[in-house]
Structure 1
Amino acid sequence: MAVLHLTKENFESEVLKSDKKVLVDFWATWCGPCQMVGPIIEELGEELEDIKICKVDVDKEPEISIKYNIMSIPTLIVFENGEIANKTIGACTKDEILELLK
Structure 2
Amino acid sequence: MKENLKKEVKLISNGKEFKKLLKTEEKLLVLFSNDSCGYCQMAENNIKKILDSFEDLILYKLKLSDAPEIFAEYNINSAPVTKVFIDQKSAYTAFGIRPPSDLYYQLKPFFKSSDSYFKEIAKNN
Smaller-chain TM-score bracket: 0.7 to 0.9
Q: 1:44 deviation in Å?
A: 4.2
- Matched residue type, 2:87: N
* Deviation >6 Å, runs of 4+: none
The 2-side partners of 1:4 and 1:96 are apart by 22
Q: 1:30 deviation in Å?
A: 1.3
Normalising by structure 1, what TM-score? 0.83
Look up the match of 2:25: 18
Larger radius of gyration: 2
Give the unaligned 5+ runs of structure 2: 1-6, 110-125
The 1-side partners of 2:35 and 2:102 are apart by 22
Look up the match of 1:8: 15
- Pick from 78, 87, 93 the counterpart of residue 81 of structure 1: 87
Deviation sequence 1:26-57 (CA, Å, 0-9, x none):
11121121121122334445x23312311111
Q: What pairs with 1:87-98 in structure 2 (closer than 5 Å)?
A: 87-98=93-104
User: Per residue, is there more strand in 1 or in 2?
Assistant: 1
Look up the match of 1:64: 70
Q: Return 24-33 or 36-45, whichever deviates more.
A: 36-45
Residues matched between the structures, number: 100
Look up the match of 2:113: none
Q: CA RMSD in A?
A: 1.7
Change (3 A) 1:15 1:100: farther
Q: Return 68-77 or 4-13, whichever deviates more.
A: 4-13
